[in-house]
Amino acid sequence: MGIKLYGYILFFFVLACSRHVNNENGDKVSDEALLQKIELQEQYALGLVKNLDASGSRVFPRSLTPEGEIRRVPKKDWTSGFYPGILWMMYELTEGEEWKQSAIQLTELLENQKFDKSTHDLGFIMMSSYGLAYKLTGNKEYRDVLIQSARSLITRFNENTGCIRSWDHNRDKWDYPVIIDNMMNLELLFFASKETGDPVFENIAIKHAQTTLKNHFRSDFSTYHVVAYDTITGAVVAQHTHQGYAHESTWARGQAWALYGYTMAYRETHLPEFLSQAEKVANYIFNKAGLPEDNIPYWDFNAPNIPNEPRDVSAAAIMASALYELSTLSDGDGITYVAKANDIMEALVSDAYFNEEGTNGGFLLRHSTGAKPKKSEVDVPLVYADYYFLEALLRKKSATVDSPQS
């Protein structure tokens, strides 16, 4: 275990909690044992991944199959950047050269995705991999990959709708679908504007966020998953779900994407409407959604058989990461946001959700839900749950409540 890893994460957990974590039997688990568990599990995962032929078409771990094997996906999958990102975060925590070299190898496998105009998810793919790579190395070639990726992404913007198109599939259902998840891809555009000085990227990102704010939210600030637009008039044709329980229900991960997306949009623009929206989304989660006692949401806040419904740990991890950042930006509720994020993280590191070392394909967390209506990835580990969990650990270090950066 690297000294720097202990220093970072002991700070994370002691900063606000100053306590041990209870496992599901009520026993005390020391911070030191927990921290060692993180690195040991990631070393196990890396060992499994390194056994691959890197030239293969499916390299990137995403989840587990029903048989317990690692489900690997190709470069074009929206989750392909998360495992390289996990490696970069492990390098940031430990300064271990093995993490860095492995991160470089898997990140650079994604380079040709910078020309892919067929997906709205270039932000997910490239910011989680190349974004962290550039942040931690300063390699200008990584910067150039990100800028080209942003150029590809904005080709999906439609002036009439004011949005970046999401899926190209299901044209029998929607002519021009936009999903709440797409807020997450805007960070790539904000990055490109800052690096190039070209406002076109930021302008498109702002317009998309403003249009989404107008059309993706109900009066209580719960979210629709999918909004379909008329490409000629720009009018809203339908407000639907694709991965949630019902069109008028609130898919938990969609609400998490909204919280994270508008927090990020405010950080990048300082437009008050985005901060206000993030705070209202957080208020819905805290006071209206009906979180369980341990703060790990069911896969849909309105699922019909609660409490006998699967949880979604990925939604919880995304929420925690977003709340830590929101605490640094909000004038009034920073203490509340940190406290709720701490409660989520305390649950995630308990035996109820954290995997034993050397199990479950090396994933850190279990009990995530991908798309329950499609019976896909239900109650399994998911790579993006681990990614946002580690990001939340890093963000907790800078989550202060007395000096918002507004």
Q: So which residues are the catalytic ones? A: 121, 181
d(CA 177, CA 170): 9
In sequence order, the 6+-apart residues with CB closer than 8 A to the CB of 19 are none
End-to-end CA distance of the chain: 37
Q: Show the tokens assigned to 148.
A: 């080209």
Neighbouring C-alpha atoms within 13 Å toward the C-beta of 193 = 15
Among 228, 229, 230, 226, residue whose Cα is nearest residue 249: 226
In sequence order, the 6+-apart residues with CB closer than 8 A to the CB of 396 are 12, 15, 16, 324, 341, 342, 345
d(CA 205, CA 18): 40
d(CA 43, CA 48): 9
Using the Cα atoms of residue 153, residue 156, residue 157 and residue 159 in order, give the sign of their dihedral: positive
Q: Rounded to the nearest 10 degrees, how much is the dihedral formed by the CA atoms of 12, 14, 19, 22?
A: 20
In sequence order, the 6+-apart residues with CB closer than 8 A to the CB of 120 are 153, 156, 164, 165, 166, 167, 182, 185
CB 249 within 8 A of CB 302: yes
Encoded amino acid at 377, one letter: E
Q: Show the tokens assigned to 75.
A: 């470069």
DSSP character string of 301-318: TT-TTTTSS-B-HHHHHH
